Amino acid sequence: MSPSYEVPAQPSPLSRRGLLAAAGAAGAAGLVTAAAPAAAAAPGSTASPSSRRRSAALVVHNARVFTGTSTHATTRHEAVAVGRDGRIIAVGSDAAVKRHVGRDTDVVDAAGGTVMSGIHDGHAHPMDAASRSLRPSLAGAEQTVEELRKTLTGFLKDSAEQEPDGWLVVEDWNPVGLLPHGTAPHHTMLDTLPTRRPIALRGGDGHNLWANQRALDIAKITASTPDPVGGKIVKGADGKPTGVLKDDAQPLVSRHIPEPDETQLADAAAKTLAEAAASGVTTFMEAVVGRDELKLYQRLAESDRLLQRIVPALRVETDMTKDPAAALAYAKKLRAEFRDVRGLRFGTVKVFLDGVIEYPAQTAALLQPYLDKDGRPTDHRGDLYVSAADYGRLSAAFNAEGWQMHAHAIGDRAVRTSLDGYAYALRKTGRRDLRNTTAHLQLVDPADLPRFAALGVVACMQLQWAARNTWTMDALLPYIGARRHRWQYPARSLQDRRAALAGGSDWPVDPLQVWNQIRTAIDREGMEGEGDLYRAEEGLSRTSSLLMHTLGTARQLRSDHLTGTVERGKAADLVVLDRDVTRCPVADISSSEVRMTLVGGTVVHDAQSSAGRAAAARVTRAAAGPRPTAYASVHGRHASCGCG
């Protein structure tokens, strides 16, 4: 079995004592105040008798505490005390917890805002977010070919010193964003730019890359180059490459792109994790990890800049899924090499079963064929990268050794493949305790809904995508029909059948908007929606959404013994919000601001510090960035890896 979590080793940006100095005259801001002398004991605290005279390192009071426990709906708690070991020592009324205030206790006035478990993100790519931040971005814009050329010419001028051989790599290209709609990207559109440099536009969905002819030449991609396993080299009617590479064909070009400077990348990663802390995230599952990502985490840990707990999901490449022994040996070798990096907890592997569902990519694997634009069936059912038999044997091999599986599955055929694989593994190993996971679940056949609970499979969903917009309507409804469209992101249907739900962002495919994500799970509309997406059928309750993104994901990540709820003995992975998200209007949840984030009792974000203000400002700018007005990126989201 994998080792238990440890509290990250880094000091906080502000120590508990430093927090007071940074806050200045705390009374004016209302966040941190100097401690009063210890108070007499009061009834109603959850503290044990042995802890009643313990002086806390930190007390948060005047709050609405969402404990996430079975008593959260029946008992109101107003305060939390954090011990000097980074664990919660008391939860209760202000009067009850006050007795833990000592002469050197830092006291936080929550001013009526929520105190709750930190957000656990069960599927994200923070190191990819760091890498992307170092390159120019198209921000998913929709443009004519001429407008795109003008933008790229500007990027070329900004980096003119790199002529003639330096790569121009541009992030967040919208693979369906060329206007007028339906315009297909071709390398000739890039070849006319005033440069000899190789150019690669990376799709914001993580599934598409568009290269110019110079880049194709460097990669030696020609008409005779075969498609790699799990990928596609798009070719025109003449049989020649168009410059567009899908899924596992992308590395044919990307492996020739120089990596960023290690110091620069580590600095960008530190800023990325600070933004996550400012968003309230205390645990991540990094959903695609190899040696490069692990080295970066190691560097962050060694420089005391690893702020969150991290579960690295080691990617098993498609061609390795047919050799479980080799895949297992590969994962074990990486774990052995990096297992001593404090803050990491190994034991999860990631496999891609299919691609994305929106037109025109349509690489998600469907049980029934896609429709054409007029609603007529085609002979195309998408791309299934791993068979159920292979996935079952792979899952059995890893499960037998205590590893957990994490499958990317967008289409209903891929979802079924994951479940069939897990069923085989269960029969072979008898192990139900590993919490194998299927992620995304954009389309699920109703017949498969009960199988999640029956097999003990966790449904990890990215419900910020579950809104009525151009991604879910224009780019999808005509191509799958109303009957199937109804079963997009079926969160409540899964919950009603007792499936375990967990949440994730898939950042940076989507902006990291934690609280809009939680809100959208409830109203199925969110900030950007043009109406709700089956709210009556699939919207979750407020409590269910909050639990899904805290305790539910902690269970997915097998850390619920340590985090995910606010109760005595748990690690103090907490967020303090500027409002009561348990009672405010649902729409107001989206704009919640994080005043403080703690991991293991250590302050990793303080909204009143200069570093905290800067991180929060970056989060706000990213959320306010330009959005496509139609279609957006294929799947509009999902990197790594979405009525009628």
What tens digit of pLDDT does each residue of 149-169 get?
A: 999 999 999 999 999 999 999
| 8 A C-beta contact, residue 371 and residue 476 | no
The length of the chain, given as a count of residues? 644
pLDDT reported for residue 53: 56
Laid out side by side, the sheet with 602-606 consists of 64-66, 114-117, 574-577, 594-599, 602-606
Q: Which of 166, 124, 425, 114 is nearest to 272 (CA)?
A: 124
**46 band by pLDDT with thresholds 50, 70 and 90:** low
Q: Are 520 and 526 in contact (CB under 8 A)?
A: yes
* CA separation for the pair 513, 326 (Å, rounded): 38
Model confidence over 175-225: pLDDT tens digits?
Answer: 878 888 778 999 999 999 999 999 999 987 778 999 999 999 999 999 999
Q: For residues 634 and 203, is the Cβ–Cβ distance under 8 A?
A: yes
**Predicted structure pTM score:** 0.84
25, burial (CB in 10 Å: exposed 0-12, middle 13-18, buried 19+): exposed
* The token pair that represents 96 in the structure block: 């009850």
- Lowest mean per-residue pLDDT among 11-25, 379-393, 524-538: 11-25
Q: Are 125 and 286 in contact (CB under 8 A)?
A: yes
**Whole-number pLDDT of residue 205:** 76
Burial of 261 from C-beta contacts in 10 A (0-12 / 13-18 / 19+): exposed
N-terminal to C-terminal alpha carbon distance within the chain: 47
Residue 260 has pLDDT above 90, yes or no: no
Greatest distance between any 2 Cα atoms in the chain: 84
Tell me the pLDDT band of 172, cut-offs 50, 70 and 90.
confident
Q: How far apart are CA 222 and CA 236, in angstroms?
A: 12
**Tens digit of pLDDT for each residue in 358-399?**
887 899 999 999 999 899 999 999 999 999 999 999 999 999
Q: How far is CA 578 from CA 16, 88, 120, 500, 519, in A?
A: 20, 21, 19, 29, 16
Q: Indicate the range of 3-17, 57-71, 194-208, 595-609 predicted with least confidence.
A: 3-17
Burial class (CB in 10 A: 0-12, 13-18, 19+), 610: exposed
Q: Is the pLDDT of residue 496 over 80?
A: yes
Contacts of 64 (CB under 8 A, 6+ apart): 76, 78, 110, 112, 113, 114, 115, 580, 582, 583
The Cα–Cα gap between 95 and 111 comes to 16
Between strands 309-315 and 32-33, the pairing is: unpaired
Q: What is the mean pLDDT of residues 230-244?
A: 94
- Give dist(CA 612, CA 632) in Å, integer: 31
413-471 pLDDT, tens digit each: 999 999 999 999 999 999 999 999 999 999 999 999 999 999 999 999 999 999 998 88
pLDDT above 90 (res 19): no
Q: In the predicted model, what is the mean pLDDT of residues 238-242?
A: 96
